[in-house]
Structure 1
């Protein structure tokens, strides 16, 4: 009996090894062909260079073709790469964990909450109620809405309300202080894709707000940040990164030429850019061999952040099925956005290149 068992065990192990194949999932939503009832949600992902990093030759008027083309596409929602007030307020409950992200990515609501007499949660509830009731009819409504959005930690949406006002009505009334008015005026001229692209498209499209979908709340645990930075910088020192830098400089050097700004956006949204970005960045990080496995930890942060951003977008689309969403995000996020969105059974991706090339 024992002899028969000794003989059978090696045979069983050999059989298992021979039959072992890479696991293939049977549920593959990105390959299914069923359709939702009614019009699918359409999402156009516009990858953008961060305007704050453009050379001095940049002029705000250069964004006009982008604003015009995507306003004509008529989005129902605009998702932007900012942290929501609600997420930031929840992070504030644990500053020991999120102190760095809070200071870098979250809007300081203290002045606006004092002016409104409401905390972030109360202001969020009230502004949603006001918008649902259509309280956007006059200048007083708009000023009050701008204050509430600031108190809710949503300065981009406050700017949308502000831009609806004629210059003569942009004043310190309805709870807005002179300091908050100054802040809104400053945001109107800020060199950012939120101020110069997203908010103007929202106004042209008749929208009342932007949707903050960023997720800078990833916790890396105890980390030797000096070693982390050294490992990533070493990984990023590769031919693909050099090519990206050369391509960027070539585009920037022509930025003052007619049509060059649009060409920069065409390049940022091309398949070639996506492939080169991965090779230079996350692919290189995955392969780096530091003892702390810092490259793999960095990719975990990056994938987690993008997954949460797409989850936030998907939640917004659930408010009104069959809608169009314009997602404006840093160019490096575009491919990840689209990869994750493609798995959603009620999302149809829209190629932005034809819009940029018309």
Structure 2
């Protein structure tokens, strides 16, 4: 029976790969940018080092920008399922709720309704109000987009933004985080109104009796099988404070370097021996996380055939994103090396 199933499986795979060969209409273009997590850099980091990277990405002209951040909908789910996900799954939105009168669920709905009727030339008051809604919906990067759209003189309290929320938005400007320094800044430069949070941790919430033993087992697997990755990380960390990070981003997205990253994380875990199978469980969670992130990205352009999409994500995710996004119908993966050239 197994011998009969294999050819059918191969045939089905081949059929799926060619289903969109004669599709009508434009194909969507997806560019996956692998990044380092800038939050790990010292506070002396100068965001201007990213200007060359932003220039290359702006030339791609994405219609949609996705980031590695938890969407409000998942925060809402986790808040309702605390027995499974814990009480500290997402940052609280109490301050924004106090300012707007909206809890997380209501704020998410209000954001979507507001964007449906968003004018081509919004007033500063409308931008301040939308920024407050985004904060209440646990979407700080999009709130920061609206904040940056405002002229400096209009970045003040009012229209739903109180002094507490203004302080939050002001502090974001000093936050070393690629979601803000690349995602939000680029969105404003391109005239976009938001970014899309597409991270997911519902599938890698590994349920084991001894969480500490699980962590030790996975870390031991990485240490034993990730010497090349550790050397690569050390070299890239040393270059992260250069005046121009374009060469580093080219390196972060180089296929040979990405293979080292995948090998040091996943292959090392798969090869590790564990009585409980902890490293292999971690790989399963990693795959589920990436699958659900890819599905979240797909949802952002579900109603927009032919969209140009930029997905900003930790470099370790990029091989999975390129592979799985590239299997979607009507979707082409853009060569990031050509964009960063």
| In structure 2, distance between residues paired with 1:344 and 1:187 | 35
| In structure 1, distance between residues paired with 2:241 and 2:206 | 41
- Superposition pairs for residues 211-290 of structure 1, below 5 Å? 211-218=196-203, 219-238=205-224, 241-257=226-242, 259=244, 261-290=245-274
Q: Secondary structure at the match of 1:103?
A: coil
| In structure 2, distance between residues paired with 1:315 and 1:207 | 17
Structure 2 length as normaliser, TM-score?
A: 0.93
Matched with 1:111 is: 95
> What RMSD over aligned residues (CA atoms) do the two structures have, in Å?
2.0
Task: Report the alpha carbon displacement of residue 35 of structure 1 after superposing the two structures with TM.
Answer: 3.9
Q: Secondary structure at the match of 2:12?
A: coil
Matched with 1:75 is: 62
Matched with 2:131 is: 146
Matched with 1:208 is: 193
Match for 2:76 among 82, 86, 89? 89
1:173–1:45 CA distance, 2 compared to 1 (3 A)? same
**Greater mean alpha carbon deviation, residues 53-62 or residues 19-28:** 19-28
| In structure 1, distance between residues paired with 2:125 and 2:49 | 32
Task: Report the alpha carbon displacement of residue 230 of structure 1 after superposing the two structures with TM.
Answer: 2.0
Q: Secondary structure at the match of 2:329?
A: coil
Q: Secondary structure at the match of 1:175?
A: coil
Task: Report the alpha carbon displacement of residue 245 of structure 1 after superposing the two structures with TM.
Answer: 2.2
Task: Report the alpha carbon displacement of residue 190 of structure 1 after superposing the two structures with TM.
Answer: 0.8
Whether 2:32 is the aligned partner of 1:45: answer yes
Can you list the C-alpha shifts for 1:269-304, whole angstroms capped at 9, x where unaligned? 111122111211111111222111101110111000
Can you list the C-alpha shifts for 1:50-109, whole angstroms capped at 9, x where unaligned? 01113566321101111121112111111110111111011101112111xx525x2311
1:33–1:157 CA distance, 2 compared to 1 (3 A)? closer
| In structure 1, distance between residues paired with 2:210 and 2:91 | 28
- Unpaired segments ≥5 residues, structure 2: none
Task: Report the alpha carbon displacement of residue 248 of structure 1 after superposing the two structures with TM.
Answer: 2.7
Q: Secondary structure at the match of 1:92?
A: helix
Can you list the C-alpha shifts for 1:159-198, whole angstroms capped at 9, x where unaligned? 1001000111011101211010000011122100011110
Larger radius of gyration: 1
Residues 41 and 176, structure 2, Cα contact 8 Å, conserved in 1:
no
Structure 1 length as normaliser, TM-score?
A: 0.88
| In structure 1, distance between residues paired with 2:66 and 2:241 | 29
Which consecutive segments of 4 or more residues in structure 1 shift more than 6 A?
A: none
- Unpaired segments ≥5 residues, structure 1: 1-15
- Superposition pairs for residues 1-358 of structure 1, below 5 Å? 24-28=9-13, 29-30=16-17, 34-54=21-41, 58-99=45-86, 103=88, 106-135=90-119, 137-218=122-203, 219-238=205-224, 241-257=226-242, 259=244, 261-357=245-341
1:287–1:249 CA distance, 2 compared to 1 (3 A)? closer
Task: Report the alpha carbon displacement of residue 249 of structure 1 after superposing the two structures with TM.
Answer: 2.4
| In structure 2, distance between residues paired with 1:33 and 1:311 | 18
In the comparison of the two structures, how many residue pairs are matched?
A: 336
Q: Secondary structure at the match of 1:321?
A: coil
Can you list the C-alpha shifts for 1:225-245, whole angstroms capped at 9, x where unaligned? 122122112211235x22222
| In structure 1, distance between residues paired with 2:71 and 2:301 | 16
Matched with 1:9 is: none
Can you list the C-alpha shifts for 1:290-324, whole angstroms capped at 9, x where unaligned? 11110111011100000000001111111211100
Task: Report the alpha carbon displacement of residue 21 of structure 1 after superposing the two structures with TM.
Answer: 8.0
Residues 215 and 305, structure 1, Cα contact 8 Å, conserved in 2:
yes
Residues 239 and 248, structure 2, Cα contact 8 Å, conserved in 1:
no
